[in-house]
Amino acid sequence: MLSLLFTSSKKKSSLEETVLKIQDGDVYLRDELIHSFKPFIAKTVSSVCRRYINESDDEFSIGLIAFNESIDKYSPCKGSSLLAFAETLVKRRVIDYLRSQTRRKDIILDLTSENTDDDHTQSYLEAEKSMQEYEKQKEAEKRRDEIQIYQTRLAEFAVSFSDLVENSPKHSDARRGAISTAKMLVSDPVLNEILMTKKRLPIKQLEKKVTVSRKTLERNRKYIIAVALILNGDFLYLHEYIKGVFEE
């Protein structure tokens, strides 16, 4: 049985290691893994649909396909566990399926129709609400994760959030100027390399390329570094902050 793979003293393979074997072509192990996690799939699908799901339901089939997809797409280097990755993918695929069904049946648009099945409509309305709540939850989680990663990155440059509160330019023009300086810094391979490797702002070299004074660069040093790190990284939500400054 598949459970022996996790309990045998000779083969203490983790779930992630098992997936890597499957990705290498072990079809039998794939079937065993999917079979073992059918309860997990049903529970995950049920959390989206807000009703009991069994293996005869179309939604379960969608979840099963998504779990199989997660096996193929999973990569340990991305940080999350297989189950966390699979849960997200299963929910996403079921949500997409429910939305496609809602559009096809025009349930939302026909709520006032006399021929509308109230129970059927209510089921899809609850599913839509569940989708929205799930998306809000995942977005909040992504924001928290992004901020944590950013905070760690800042610490490498001896910058903290409290530093940014104290040292951020007070006026919008000054903030836009500092952000423009950070953009220029990141666009220059040499200066950006100095920033990222030596963990400091290359003020002397930067001074030759901008119109602001050295004193201004030094005063806004931490803020410029903070913005440059956002521009250098994959920070979706923090990029919105930079965009917002230029729209002030």
Asked whether residue 15 is assigned to any structural domain, the reply reads no
Q: Indicate whether 166 belongs to any domain.
A: yes
Rounded average pLDDT over 23-40: 89
User: Do residues 195 and 242 share a domain?
Assistant: yes
CA–CA distances in Å: residue 43 to residues 59, 138, 182: 11, 18, 47
Confidence of residue 67 (pLDDT cuts 50, 70, 90): very high
| 95 and 129 inside one domain | yes
> pLDDT above 90 covers what percent of the chain?
28
* Average pLDDT over all residues of the chain: 79
Q: Could you say which DSSP state residue 147 is in?
A: H
- Our count of domains for the chain comes to 2
118 with 180, same domain: the answer is no
pLDDT digits (tens, 9 = 90+) for 175-202: 889 999 999 999 999 999 999 999 999 9
Cα distances (angstroms) measured from residue 67 to each of 30, 32, 48, 81, 142: 11, 13, 15, 13, 21
186 belongs to a structural domain: yes
The per-residue pLDDT for 1 is 40
Same domain, yes or no, for 132 and 166?
no
Give the H or E element holding residue 185.
Answer: helix 172-187
Q: Which of 77-91, 130-144, 154-168 has the lowest mean pLDDT?
A: 130-144
- Other CB atoms within 10 Å distance of the CB of residue 19: 24
Which of 63-77, 183-197, 217-231 shows the lowest mean pLDDT across its residues?
Answer: 63-77
Query: What per-residue confidence (pLDDT) applies to 10?
Result: 36
Q: Identify residue 110 by its one-letter amino acid code.
A: D
Poorest-pLDDT segment among 1-15, 73-87, 233-247: 1-15
Task: Assess contact for 163 and 169: CB atoms under 8 A.
Answer: no
Residue 161 has pLDDT above 80, yes or no: yes
Q: Which residues lie closer than 8 Å to 171 by C-beta, 6 or more apart?
A: none
> Across 18-22, 24-28, 103-107, 201-205, which has the greatest mean pLDDT?
201-205
Domain assignment present for 150 = no
Residues 130 and 47 in one domain: yes
Residue 130 lies in a domain: yes
Q: Give the pLDDT confidence score for residue 3 in this predicted structure.
A: 41
Residue 139 pLDDT > 80? no
Indicate if 125 and 173 belong to the same structural domain. no
| Separation of CA 113 from chain center | 40
In a domain, 219, yes or no: yes
Q: Which domain holds residue 119?
A: 37-138
Residue 166 has pLDDT above 80, yes or no: yes
* pLDDT tens for each residue of 90-116: 988 888 888 777 665 554 444 444 444
DSSP letter at 175 equals H
In a domain, 187, yes or no: yes
